[in-house]
Amino acid sequence: MDKRIIIGSDHAAFELKEKIKDQLSDLGYEVEDAGTYTTDSVNYADFGKKVAKAVSGGTYGRGILLCGTGLGMSIQANRYKGVRAALCSDIFSVRMSRRHNDANILVMGGRVVGDILAFELVKEWLDTPFEGGRHLDRIRTLDEIG
């Protein structure tokens, strides 16, 4: 299993990003931090692009994106081919995002979820496999335009 992952956030979720980095390290992951690196106000799209490009291009198989709501990051990330970014704030959605959608970016809102829930969501997302089967054709269809 690929134990490399890229993570990014804006200022609104900077603190949560730092805590999730520690969690990922504890779980044995090698973490690439795409920023932001301070709590100074930034444009979430710049960081969403960095992580989405890395996953779309295959440099990383998995990524995590965080902003205040998670909305801006998920909108940005899903513009990239091959990216399946799932904005989640509950365990069931996280589980299904892996089983059925093979989500390769987990997006969370730092102003929506608390730290402990975020850690549980991350762990479930990392540990849940894609079911494949009938879902393979469905996720391939996602990348077809029109």
Question: From the list 27, 71, 91, 139, which residue makes contact with ligand RB5 (rule: CB under 6 A)?
Answer: 71
Q: Which of 6, 12, 107, 118 binds ligand RB5 (CB under 6 A)?
A: 12
Binder among 8, 48, 63, 72 for ligand RB5 (CB under 6 A)? 72
Interface positions, 18-47, toward ligand RB5 (CB under 6 A): 44
* Identity of the residue, 61 or 68, whose beta carbon is nearer to ligand RB5 in the bound complex: 68
- Contact in structure between 107 and 66 (CB atoms under 8 Å): yes
Looking at residue 14, its amino acid is F
For residue 15, what are the contacts with CB-CB under 8 A and spacing of at least 6? Answer: 39, 110
Which residue in 23, 19, 104 sits closest to 56, CA to CA? 104
Annotate each residue in 93-132 with x if it binds ligand RB5 (CB under 6 A) or - if it does not, as one string: ----------------------------------------
Interhelix angle 14-26/115-127, nearest 10 degrees:
50
**Piece in contact with ligand RB5 (CB under 6 A), picked from 20-28, 67-75, 82-90, 116-124:** 67-75
Residue 136 in 3-state DSSP?
A: helix
Tell me the three state secondary structure of residue 5: strand
Catalytic residue status for 135: no
The rounded distance, in Å, linking the Cα atoms of 9 and 4 is: 17
Tell me which of 19, 27, 68, 130 binds ligand RB5, using CB under 6 A: 68
Interaction site with ligand RB5 (CB under 6 A): 10, 12, 44, 67-69, 71-72
Residues catalogued as catalytic? 67, 100
